[in-house]
């Protein structure tokens, strides 16, 4: 089967930076759009950024100019560069991908990672 594993979360001071990574693995035929979502306490999960297989990107208004999404197709990995962290950014960040797999049969799956926690100190 296929899975996504995030890494890079942690505790950062306001104004700081960090880079999240999410690697897809398993029986992958191809990967369509990949994205990052986040969910803060008491809030709904929201789209942060996404990137198509061709490199087109979209960002939530709240992170434009501060976050950058990118991907390395050869490594089946998507990244989220987070800059200028604010106290409004702490959340669990999840990666998401549309993946074509071939085991046990050829099919399309929307796959979620387990999440990585980003915390901003006061």
pLDDT for 83:
97
User: Cα separation of 101 and 30, whole Å?
Assistant: 7
- DSSP string of 4-50? EEEE--EEE-TT--EEEEEEEEESEEEEEEEEEEEE-TTS--EEEEE
Contact 37, 46 (CB under 8 A): yes
How many Cβ atoms from other residues are within 10 Å of residue 31's Cβ?
Answer: 20
The three-state secondary structure class of 100 is: strand
pLDDT for 121:
85
pLDDT for 122:
75
**Digits of tens for pLDDT over the chain (122 positions)?**
899 999 999 999 999 999 999 999 999 999 999 999 999 999 999 999 999 999 999 999 999 999 999 999 999 999 999 999 998 899 999 999 999 999 989 999 999 999 999 998 87
pLDDT for 98:
98
- Residue 80 vs residues 10, 91, 102, 104: alpha-carbon distances, Å: 14, 14, 28, 31
pLDDT for 72:
97
Contact 15, 121 (CB under 8 A): no
- Residue 88 vs residues 14, 65, 112: alpha-carbon distances, Å: 10, 15, 23
The residue written with tokens 């501060």 in the block is: 66
């Amino acid at each position: 089967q296929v899975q996504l594993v995030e890494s890079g979360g942690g505790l950062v001071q306001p104004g700081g930076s960090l880079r999240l990574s999410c690697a897809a693995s398993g029986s992958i035929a191809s990967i369509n759009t990949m994205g990052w979502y986040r969910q803060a306490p008491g809030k709904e999960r929201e789209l942060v950024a996404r990137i198509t297989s061709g490199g087109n990107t979209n960002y939530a208004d709240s992170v434009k100019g501060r976050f950058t999404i990118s991907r390395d197709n050869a490594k089946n990995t998507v990244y989220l560069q987070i800059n200028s962290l604010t106290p409004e950014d702490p959340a669990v960040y999840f990666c998401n991908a549309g993946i074509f797999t071939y085991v046990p049969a050829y099919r399309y799956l929307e796959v979620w990672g387990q999440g990585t926690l980003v915390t901003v100190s006061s």
